Structure formats: structure tokens, C-alpha cells
Amino acid sequence: MSQRILDNLKVIQQRIENACRKANREVNEIKLLLATKTVDANRIKMVIEKGKTLIGENEIQEVKQKYDELKNISHQKHFIGHLQSNKIKEVLKYDVSCIQSLDRISLAQKLQKRLELENKTINAFIQVNTSAEESKFGISPNEAIGLAKELANFDRIHIKGLMTIGLFSAEKEKVRTCFKLLKSIQQEIIAQNIPKIEIKELSMGMSGDLEIAIEEGATIVRVGTAIFGERIYPDSYYWNEKNSIQ
């Protein structure tokens, strides 16, 4: 089991290298984020020990469960799932360094308040729904720039990039359209020169589509299944409010 994970990790690194070569990019421009939902702390540790120190969790419940076992091993934790505002306190309590799923102003308002109260700051990405699927979270592409401008007013929240989940489709060109869209939103935000909004990171690409994402400019790819194996719950449990297992 554990050897399988380490073998998978090598395959992923190879895939990232190949994609970089094809896209004429440097491998060190791409960070691998381990999407660790449903993966127990022992297995996560194994991969962190191989130097892959960026993990992403979807549920605060899981962050909590794994916290003690992981706290003595140096790593960085991003939150990549849908964040309900009543979970903000806990996100801050368990050392999440970046919320990749900031997708609405109401969440930012509550987050800002809590950060002020605790005298903290946090990094965040704006999640954009580039596939126009009802079932996915994220702000719609035509509202993303407006949100970025509003977020400039929240001094405790440091916007560092954009995140998206591409369309699930075997049609690569349709998937590519999602990633191209995220890139173009990034370009537009940069062109607008919004004060305090820094938007270097593009978090896009997963087990099935990371090559396309790298070709289209990803700086972070989020990989779960291709390293840790299949999960019991379908992704709709995580991406759709009414099916949420929380």
C-alpha cells in the first residue's frame, strides 16, 4: 500500500516534468499540492517526508482529526473545499495558511472580522467557477474582477491567486477552455492594477487534467487520486452543498 503511494508520487512528478517540457516551463514553477481528503495522517506523512510539503483539505472536520498527528512535521496547509462561514474560527485555529476557496463577499466580511479579533492575517485565492456547472462552487467568471476589487478593502486577507476546478470531461479542449478562462481573468486583474491584490498563483489541474493546466499556466496542481488512490465518496459530496457530508 505505502509503496504504491510512493510509486504513484514518482509517476506524478514525471507527468509534471513532461508537461513542463512540453510547455517550455521550469519544473520549479509548479507546486504540487497533495489533495488529502479521506487520506489518513500516516499516509500523508509519508509523502510529506518525500519533500512534498503542501497539502490541501476540503473539510474542517478532517483538518481537526489529523492535526495532532501532523503538527510535528513541517508542512503547509491550504483549505480547498467549500467554506461555510460558521467554520471560519476553526480554519484559523488549525493553521490553515491559505483559503483557496474564497468565492463570496459575505465570507470575506466574516473572515476579516474574525482575523481582526484574533489579530491575524491569512492568504486567500479567489475560486472561480470556470465550467459554469451548477454543482460547483466559485464565483462566476464575469463577477470575479468585481470581487477582486472589493477584496482589496479587506486588509487582513491577502489575495495571492485564483483557483478553479476544470470541467470533468474527456474532451480535452473543453477542459482547456476552463483553464484558459482562469488565466485570462488573472491577466485582466493584473491589468487593472488593483492596490494590494497580488495574483501570481493559478491553482488549477488535478489527477486527470494536470498536463493541460500546466500548459495553460498553472502554478499549483492539486492531486489526490493519482497519488493516494480512489476515494470512497464521489467528489459531489465535497462540491455540492446539498450532498455535503459535513
Residues 6+ apart with CB under 8 A from 225: 206, 207, 231
* Cα–Cα dist 78/101, whole Å: 9
Residue among 66 and 222 whose Cβ is closer to ligand PLP: 222
Minimal distance in Å, beta carbon 165 to ligand PLP?
Answer: 5
Closest contact distance (angstroms) between CB of 234 and ligand PLP is: 10
Q: How far is the CB of 110 from ligand PLP (least distance, A)?
A: 21
CA separation (Å) from 83 to 87, 166, 185? 7, 19, 22
Could you tell me the smallest distance in angstroms from the CB atom of residue 118 to ligand PLP?
A: 26
Cβ distance to ligand PLP smaller for residue 16 or 206: 206
**Residue 13 Cβ, how far from ligand PLP at the closest point, in Å?**
14
Residue ranges that bind ligand PLP, judged by CB under 6 A: 35, 37, 58, 80, 165, 206-208, 222-226, 235, 238
Grid coordinates of 92? 484559523
Distance CA 89, CA 246 (A): 16
Residue closer to ligand PLP by CB (options 132, 190) is: 132
Indicate if the alpha-carbon torsion angle 233, 234, 237, 238 is positive or negative. positive
Name the closest residue to ligand PLP (Cβ): 224
- Judged by CB, which is closer to ligand PLP: 141, or 224? 224
Q: CB-wise, 13 or 208, nearer to ligand PLP?
A: 208
Per-residue three-class SS string for 158-200:
EEEEEECCCCCCCCHHHHHHHHHHHHHHHHHHHHHCCCCCCCC
